[in-house]
Amino acid sequence: MRSKKILTVDDDPFYGNLYRDILEAHGYRTKQAFNASDGLRLAGEFRPDLIILDVMMPEREGLLDGYGLLEELRNERKFRSLPVVMVTALNEDGDRQRAFDLGATDYLPKQDLSPDGLIHLIEAYLKR
């Protein structure tokens, strides 16, 4: 069985490396992007089975943040059913609702993040 591929998109190297370490320790193949435009490019090249996506990232090439990337992904047919889990410091109801309105699969505040919780969530979506 091939190992599942996960793309992480977060401008904070601490979180990018944390996700990589957790995921690779559980046998997943990973790629990291540190802004939305690189995330979109890597989604096409790497063809991940799931994306972990931050919301707040600096503007680059017209994609303002994780919401912009999510919207771009959902506009492309090949990514419409790809699980996208938003993991962000934003924890207001409006932020969560906007993510779901744009097509996020799930939304996890970073302050609630635990390695076991992240793996459990990912495994649940990859089994579908």
Q: What is the CATH number of domain 5-126?
A: 3.40.50.2300
User: pLDDT digit string (tens) for 32-69?
Assistant: 999 998 999 999 999 999 999 999 887 665 657 899 99
- Give 127 or 49, the one with higher predicted confidence: 49
Tell me the whole-structure pTM to 2 decimals. 0.92
Q: Identify which has the larger pLDDT, 6 or 90.
A: 6
Q: Which residue do the tokens 């990514």 mark?
A: 79
**Mean pLDDT throughout 14-19?**
94
* 51 Cβ contact partners less than 8 Å away, ≥ 6 residues apart: 6, 7, 8, 9, 39, 43, 73, 82, 83, 84, 85
